[in-house]
């Protein structure tokens, strides 16, 4: 993994550890576990911050035993404070997710303008959830989530224009 992706993984783990309460976990839960993050396809270089929310969601799923909804895809950089920051390549990522059969995509709210670049037919077949916070990602992506976050700030929409 590249340096930026390694930093994203560290930020994701730090956020999940620091916010154990939103997942219903005791603070010392992590002291009993070793963690190894493996990203397959070793011959394909991987770097950049875009996987931050995905890695955080994977850790949240692992520790809380709440599976990730199989129809949900996501992208976004995260901060240690849990903010979701915009990323590049939204058009390509959305088209790839659509081709892979996903029906719901969680994206940074600050990438909303990039949705205009996506073909209308593709946009109409997807549900977009635009978020500012990692907790909003967990609320959308995890089955039977224990998060107590108010997600009224997220924008759920089917774009049909």
> What's the CA gap between 6 and 120, in Å, rounded?
35
Give the HSE-up count for residue 109: Cα atoms under 13 Å, Cβ half-sphere. Answer: 14
Q: So which residues are the catalytic ones?
A: 50, 93
Which residues share a beta bridge with 2? none
* 103 contacts: CB under 8 Å, gap ≥ 6: 71, 72, 125, 126, 127
């Amino acid at each position: 993994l590249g340096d930026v992706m390694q930093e994203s993984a560290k930020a994701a783990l730090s956020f999940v550890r620091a916010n154990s309460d939103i997942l219903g976990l005791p603070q010392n839960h992590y002291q009993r576990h070793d963690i190894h993050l493996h990203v397959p396809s070793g011959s394909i270089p991987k770097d950049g911050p875009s996987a931050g929310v995905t890695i955080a969601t994977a850790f949240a799923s692992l520790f809380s035993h709440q599976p990730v909804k199989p129809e949900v895809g996501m992208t976004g950089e995260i901060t240690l404070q849990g903010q979701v920051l915009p990323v590049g390549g939204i058009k390509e990522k959305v088209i790839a997710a659509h081709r892979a059969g996903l029906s719901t995509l969680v994206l940074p709210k600050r990438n909303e303008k990039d949705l205009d670049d996506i073909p209308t037919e593709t946009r109409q077949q997807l549900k977009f959830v635009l978020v500012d916070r990692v907790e909003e990602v967990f609320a959308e992506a995890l089955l039977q989530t224990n998060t107590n976050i108010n997600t009224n700030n997220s924008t759920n929409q089917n774009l049909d224009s």
